[in-house]
Amino acid sequence: DPLIEQAMAMLYRRSVAISVADMSKALDLGPRQLERRFRQVCGLTAAEFRGLSRFQHTVRRATLAATDSPGGIALGRGYYDQSHFIHDFHRRVGRPPRAYFAEARTRTHFYNPSRSLVDMP
């Protein structure tokens, strides 16, 4: 469904800046029709996909930003506060963000195993 693929791209690129209601208007679909078609194609509702995209962008940025706190990055990505990010992180990953990021920043790059994320300029 090309329209739903367009919706997925909109949500992925602007996971914080666009609401599902605004997106349904932009695509000239009713909100219920958008949700039904989105679930058929993706297996998630548009709101769930937007939340997953926001989470993925936040984790990626926090992993690569060795000096910034994940909580501060989460606020910039649309989380209401740090506790909402911690709760979302624990629900999706099954462990607290502090433990995850401490370990993640010492892992090597998959494309350059001789360097860790900490070694990045």
pLDDT at 15: 59
**Does 55 reside within a domain?**
yes
82 or 106, higher pLDDT? 82
Angle at 50 between CA 72 and CA 58, to 5 degrees: 25
Tell me the residue range of the domain where 82 lies: 49-111
pLDDT at 121: 46
pLDDT at 44: 92
Specify whether 55 is located in the same domain as 106: yes
Q: What is the pTM of this model?
A: 0.76
- The tens digit of pLDDT for each residue in 20-45 reads 888 889 889 998 999 999 999 999 99
Residue type at 74 in one-letter notation:
A
**Does 120 reside within a domain?**
no
Residue type at 58 in one-letter notation:
T
For the segment 64-82, the average pLDDT, to the nearest whole number, is 76
**Does 116 reside within a domain?**
no
Specify whether 99 is located in the same domain as 83: yes
**Does 121 reside within a domain?**
no
115 pLDDT higher than 70 = no
pLDDT at 107: 66
pLDDT at 76: 76
**Whether the Cβ atoms of residue 10 and residue 16 lie closer than 8 Å to each other:** no
Helices (H), the chain: 2-13, 20-26, 31-42, 46-64, 70-76, 82-93, 97-104
Measure the CA–CA gap between 69 and 102, rounded to whole angstroms: 11
For residue 118, give both structure tokens.
Answer: 């900490």
pLDDT at 92: 94
Measure the CA–CA gap between 78 and 18, rounded to whole angstroms: 11
64 pLDDT higher than 60 = yes
Specify whether 68 is located in the same domain as 18: no
> Among candidates 31, 35, 32, which has minimal Cα distance to 44?
35
**Per-residue DSSP letter, 80:** S
